[in-house]
Amino acid sequence: MQILMDIIGYFEEECKCEIPDIEDCRPKKCPRCGTLSRENGILWVIGHGTYDRWACIPNSVKIKIRRFLCKKCRKTCSVLPHGLLPRFQYSAHIILLCLLQFYVDGKTEASVISNVLQDKGKKSFGFIRRWGTKFLTNAYLWGWLGNQLGVRKNTKPSRHQIRLYIDRFLLNYKDYVGSNQTLETAQIVQISLSEMVFDKKKAFRSFHIQHETKTSSVPLTKQFAANTQYKEHQKNPP
């Protein structure tokens, strides 16, 4: 089980990838059994080591991930920064930018790789299309929103359908931040992924993370537009 939290310092420029303080990562409760991290002076959710994993943001860096053990249910969980999706090397911000430029802007895959991933020599194509076909259906790619946004599962969507799904997804979060604000992909990632818990093929929002935010509840819009006016994705990523 993996929890996504807003941890300062992971994705900053010239990141040293130092291991974050254990208290900055410790969940307030066990995500499996709900036991409080501290209760009656006893620490129930304790540190259980770390492991390394690679993250492309867009340059590849190795970061430290903290693990925790609940002494009651004897289950472990790991805490990831909210911009890093489980089982995906590329950050959620990079994935979303690639989908926007390829499906909404209509750029070629080679152009997107050169622009967003900053890797002109990359010859492995096809992964952006794979992200697109799994968007809103795979649990790790905002799949928990799929049914509510009208995504048909067990079918291979066309490029037009994927663009429609992306438009609906963007419109949902554009309405959330307000019509007078410019929505950025960083905002979408923070709003949609912070406090999410992933357990194999399931994903759900946790309301018991230690550092509470104003994004614990995200209402879904009831109406969707065929083509969302969205400008931020035309900018180059940081």
The pLDDT value recorded for residue 135 is 95
Average pLDDT over residues 213-223: 41
3-state secondary structure of 164: helix
Rg (Cα) of the chain, in Å, rounded?
18
Tell me what percent of the residues of the chain surpass a pLDDT of 70: 74
- pLDDT tier for residue 178 given thresholds of 50, 70 and 90: low
Alpha carbon distance 197, 205 (integer Å): 6
Q: Based on the domain organization, do 100 and 146 belong to the same domain?
A: yes
**Phi (first) and psi of residue 150, to 5 degrees:** 80, 25
| Paired strand residues for 80 | 4
The pLDDT value recorded for residue 132 is 94
Q: What is the 3-state secondary structure (H, E, C) of 96-148?
A: HHHHHHHHHCCCCHHHHHHHCCCCCCCCCCCHHHHHHHHCCCCCCCCHHHCHH
The pLDDT value recorded for residue 219 is 46
Q: Which two tokens stand for residue 108?
A: 């070629």
The model's pLDDT over 142-167, given as tens digits with 9 standing for 90+, comes to: 999 998 888 987 778 999 999 999 99
Start-to-end CA distance of the chain, whole Å, equals: 30
3-state secondary structure of 47: strand
Alpha carbon distance 129, 216 (integer Å): 30
Q: Determine the distance from the C-alpha atom of residue 158 to the mean position of all C-alpha atoms in its chain, rounded to a whole number.
A: 24
DSSP state of 233: G
Whether the predicted pLDDT of 214 surpasses 60? no
- How many CB atoms lie under 10 A from the CB of residue 22? 13
Q: Which two tokens stand for residue 125?
A: 């194509």
DSSP state of 2: E
Whether the predicted pLDDT of 227 surpasses 50? no
Whether the predicted pLDDT of 10 surpasses 60? no
- pLDDT tier for residue 176 given thresholds of 50, 70 and 90: low
Q: Is position 26 within any domain? A: yes
Q: Based on the domain organization, do 50 and 129 belong to the same domain?
A: no
Which pairs from 119-128 meet CB under 8 Å and 24+ separation? 119/58, 128/98, 128/99, 128/102
- pLDDT tier for residue 201 given thresholds of 50, 70 and 90: confident
Q: Based on the domain organization, do 224 and 125 belong to the same domain?
A: yes
Q: Which two tokens stand for residue 152?
A: 């048909």
Q: Is position 55 within any domain? A: yes
Sequence-separated (6 or more) residues with CB below 8 Å from residue 37: 26, 27, 28, 29, 30, 43, 44, 45, 210
Q: Based on the domain organization, do 57 and 7 belong to the same domain?
A: yes
Q: Which domain holds residue 33?
A: 2-87+195-205
Q: Based on the domain organization, do 77 and 145 belong to the same domain?
A: no
Among 74-78, 86-90, 163-167, 207-211, the range scoring the smallest mean pLDDT is 207-211
The model's pLDDT over 93-129, given as tens digits with 9 standing for 90+, comes to: 899 999 999 999 999 888 888 888 765 555 556 889 9
Q: Based on the domain organization, do 23 and 108 belong to the same domain?
A: no
Q: Is position 213 within any domain? A: no
Quote the number of domains for the chain.
2
The mean of the pLDDT values for the chain is: 77
Q: Based on the domain organization, do 78 and 97 belong to the same domain?
A: no
Q: Is position 44 within any domain? A: yes
The helix (H) or strand (E) run that includes residue 49 is strand 45-56
Q: Could you give the dihedral angle defined by the CA atoms of residues 47, 208, 54 and 232, in that order, rounded to the nearest 10 degrees?
A: -160
Q: Which two tokens stand for residue 169?
A: 């997804």
The pLDDT value recorded for residue 82 is 79
DSSP state of 149: G
